[in-house]
Amino acid sequence: MLELIDVSASYHLAPVVQGVAMRIETGETVALIGPNGAGKSTLLGALSGTVPHRQGQALLDGVDLMQLESHEIVALGVVQVPEGRHVFAPMSVQDNLLLGSVALRQRSRALQQRFDAVYALFPRLAERRQQLAGTLSGGEQQMVAIGRAMMSNPRVLLLDEPFLGLAPMVVEEIRHALNSLRAEGLTMILVEQKLDIALPFTSRTHVMIKGQLALVQSSEELMNSPDLGQLYFQLSQPIP
Ligand SMILES: Nc1ncnc2c1ncn2[C@@H]1O[C@H](COP(=O)(O)OP(=O)(O)OP(=O)(O)O)[C@@H](O)[C@H]1O
Ligand SMILES: [Mg+2]
């Protein structure tokens, strides 16, 4: 179980995320939605230890992520797939994946098992293991980004807009892969702007507005809620 208590985060002095409380059961997939600039990526960065100023507690089965450095957080099994599918363009698919395991000092057999698992998850990558990542399609690059995170065999995956800018068929392919990870018991926080993707995929939805959680509701209830139209409207508004 991952429990966030009064989590705040910032880059400089001004707070970006403030007073966030969340409770995510083991194996649960939750959504984090909100307009541009709301602080969604910053909250994920607070959990993965990549945002400089972090306060509060984020307890993963009792261990406080806020007290750990980013490499310790990865070693504990919490891995972020950053926004914008960052791959190392001049390196092969295989080498990009390998980078996902460096923090773990894995034995060669365990490492081979991780490669096998990622290639089974994304057969398209198996066919392209020697191809330079920079020459992959956008969807394939996103698969590399997710695959790299999976190389460390995480317990919790922090997904920052993994479907952004992808064609519907590729969205479906990646959603299918994430579904199978969920079936294996992986816990996920999905940052997503599109409600029609986020709601059916998750059990609960957290709406962040200006760095704070404005609403936490069952995704199914929200899908059938008369307030959904209003929420669409709110999410499309620029931050004043
Ligand atoms: N590295 C950074 N240094 C300084 N300020 C930053 C940094 N990254 C983000 N911010 C600021 O923090 C605020 C929240 O940004 P964040 O990226 O967390 O929002 P978001 O909800 O993920 O938005 P989007 O939907 O556009 O990805 C914004 O005002 C942004 O300018
Ligand atoms: Mg973001």
Q: What is the pLDDT of residues 22-52, one digit of tens each?
A: 999 999 999 999 999 999 999 999 999 999 9
**Most ligand 1 atoms within 8 A of CB, residue of 41, 53, 209 to mutate:** 41
Give me 80's structure tokens. 């972020």
Ligand 1 atom 3: the closest Cα is on which residue? Answer: 11
Q: What is the total residue count of the chain?
A: 240
For the segment 159-176, the average pLDDT, to the nearest whole number, is 94
For the Cβ of 158 lying below 6 angstroms from any atom of ligand 1, the answer is no
- For residue 95, the CA-to-ligand 2 centroid distance in Å is 26
Q: Is 128 in the pocket of ligand 1 (CB under 6 A)?
A: no
Check if 236 has its Cβ closer than 6 Å to any atom of ligand 1.
no
pLDDT single digits (tens) 3-27 = 999 999 999 989 999 999 999 999 9
> Is the distance from the beta carbon of residue 16 to the nearest atom of ligand 1 less than 6 Å?
yes
Half-sphere exposure of 46 (CA within 13 A, CB side): 30
Q: Answer yes or no: pTM beyond 0.85.
A: yes
Structure tokens at 78: 């919490």
Per-domain residue ranges for the chain? 2-87+156-235
Q: Tokens at residue 204, please?
A: 């609960």
DSSP the chain: -EEEEEEEEESSSS-SEEEEEEEE-TT-EEEEE-STTSSHHHHHHHHHT-SSEEEEEEEETTEEGGGS-HHHHHHHTEEEE-TT----TTSBHHHHHHHTTGGGT--HHHHHHHHHHHHHH-HHHHHTTTSBGGGS-HHHHHHHHHHHHHTT--SEEEEESTTTT--HHHHHHHHHHHHHHHHTT-EEEEE-S-HHHHHHH-SEEEEEETTEEEEEEEHHHHHT-TTHHHHHHHHTSPP-
User: Residues 201, 190: contact at Cβ < 8 Å?
Assistant: yes
- 112 C-alpha to center of ligand 1: Å? 37
Would you say the CB of residue 38 lies under 6 angstroms from ligand 1?
Answer: yes
182-191, pLDDT tens digit by residue? 999 999 999 9
Is residue 106's pLDDT more than 90?
no
Instruction: Tell me: pLDDT of 104 over 80.
Output: no
More confident residue, 214 or 85: 214
Residue 162 CB: number of other CB atoms within 10 A? 25
Rounded distance, CA 162 to CA 82, Å?
8
What the block records as the tokens of 218 is 């069952």
Q: If you take atom 5 of ligand 1, which residue's CA is the nearest one?
A: 11
In this structure, which topology does domain 2-87+156-235 adopt according to CATH?
Rossmann fold (3.40.50)
Query: Interhelix angle for 168-183 vs 138-150, to 10°?
Result: 10
Alpha-carbon torsion (123, 124, 129, 133), positive or negative: negative
Residue 10 Cβ contacting ligand 1 at under 6 Å: no
Q: Hey, which of 11, 208, 212, 213 would you mutate to test ligand 1's pocket, going by the most ligand atoms within 8 Å of its Cβ?
A: 11
Beta-carbon-side half-sphere exposure of residue 11 (alpha carbons within 13 Å): 6
CA of 43 to the centre of ligand 1 (A): 10
Residue 46 C-alpha to ligand 1 middle, in angstroms? 12
Ligand 1 atom with the shortest distance to the CA of 44: 18
Q: What is the pLDDT of residue 193?
A: 87
